[in-house]
Structure formats: C-alpha cells, structure tokens
Amino acid sequence: MKPLPANNRSLLVSKLLTSSWQQECNVTLDISEQELDQVTPLLYGSGAAALGWWRVRQTDLRATSSAQLLREGYRLQSLQGAIHEENIKNVLQLLRESSIESILVKGWAAASLYPERALRPYGDIDLCVRASSYSAAAAVLAVTTNQLANAIRLVSVEKGHDPRDFALFAFGGAGPLHAVEIARELGIPTVLVPRFPGITSGLGCVLADVRHDFVQSVG
C-alpha cells in the first residue's frame, strides 16, 4: 500500500486520537483498516499506542493486526506505569525520611485525569520542593547515586576493570533515573537506555530458551 502524504497521516492521527483520553467517546471513528495500518507505526513510535487502542477497542477495528499492536503497546505501558509508581513511592519515601515534603507534578499528576494511568507514557519523576529544601533533597538523592556508584566500583575497579572503558547500560525501574549521575561519578563516557527499561529483565525471561535445572544435595 502506497504511504499517504504526511498531511493526510496527520489528519488521520488527529481523527483517531479525538477524545481518546475520555472514559467513553461519543465521536464516531470513521477510519478504515488500511488507514489504521498507515498511522499505527506513528502511534507506537510516539508513545500514543495506548491511546490508540483505547479509541479502537470497542470498534470493528479491534481485531485487526494493527489494533493488536496498539493493544500490546497499551499492555506494555501498563507495566511501565506500575513500575513508575513504585519508583515514585521510593523517591517520596526517601525525601519524607529526611523530613522533606514534595509535590508531584506534570506526568504522573496529569495521568490521574485519564481513565487509566496506562494511557499516558512516563519518563522522569517531576517533583517540586521548597526552595529552602532544595539542597537537602538533592543531597538525599545524591546518597542513593553514590551507593549505586560504589556497587559498580565493587564489580569493576576492584576486579581490575576501569569503568571509563565501558558504557553504562541503564535498565530496571529506577536505573535511568540515576544513570547520568552515576556515569559522571565514575567517568563513564556513554549511557545506554533501552526503549523500555522497566521490563528489560522481563523481556529477557520471555526471549530466553527454556531450561530446567535439577539440584540434589549430597551427604
């Protein structure tokens, strides 16, 4: 199928995402399966796959291959949202233990306006603290960074490896949150963050070959 001009695809994306953040959309979705095929890569690549699925989930398009790809994006974003929530709880707990009150803004706060938090992609944790508490808050987070940096030293420098000769691969729920500061602390020149860092280990389990290990104690 010949790709549509950019302007036409923009109009299709606009039509598809109209009211997609609402619990129930009363606007009829007038889009064909071929047109959905054209815009699905754009939605998936821009983090709007979940919204796309929310819009088509109750239409005749829901069983199409493109709709199923959007659904996978929705599921993936649901997992990322759960991990992000745990990261937020951990950061807030660290600050509260130091008697630092903070206000959660932007991404996660705005997500509460959606029918499901999974409909909004997440990245950083955006917090506001009092100006008088800023230095203390930065110090609290720096302690965590130093602890992680020391752990890397334990498995690298102490074994004869120089971290400056490697790239830092940041995965896991909170890995990318501290990656740049850790790299700066250790002099690591490059930081690599996978597209979906929070489920990297899970993807490894899914893609790895199935293996059974049997262990028996002796004596």
Q: What is the pLDDT of residues 83-134, one digit of tens each?
A: 778 778 888 888 998 999 998 887 777 777 888 877 877 667 788 999 999 9
CA 68 to chain centre: 20
pLDDT recorded at residue 171: 79
pLDDT recorded at residue 46: 81
Summarize the confidence of residues 197-219 as an average pLDDT: 71
Residue 159 — left, alpha, or beta (φ > 0 → left; ψ -120 to 50 → alpha)?
Answer: alpha
Summarize the confidence of residues 136-143 as an average pLDDT: 86
Residue bearing the bigger pLDDT, 153 or 175: 153
**Exposed/middle/buried for residue 215 (C-beta within 10 Å: 0-12, 13-18, 19+):** exposed
pLDDT tens-place string over residues 6-34:
667 788 888 888 888 787 777 778 889 99
pLDDT recorded at residue 99: 92
Summarize the confidence of residues 158-176 as an average pLDDT: 82
Instruction: Evaluate if residue 1 carries a pLDDT over 60.
Output: no
Instruction: Evaluate if residue 50 carries a pLDDT over 70.
Output: yes
Instruction: Evaluate if residue 68 carries a pLDDT over 80.
Output: yes
Instruction: Evaluate if residue 198 carries a pLDDT over 70.
Output: no
Q: Where are the beta strands (DSSP E) in the chain?
A: 102-104, 127-129, 167-169, 190-192
Sign of CA dihedral 152, 154, 158, 160: negative
Question: pLDDT > 90: what percent of the chain?
Answer: 12
pLDDT recorded at residue 66: 92
pLDDT recorded at residue 123: 65
Domain-by-domain residue ranges, the chain?
6-76, 131-208
Mean pLDDT (the chain, rounded): 82
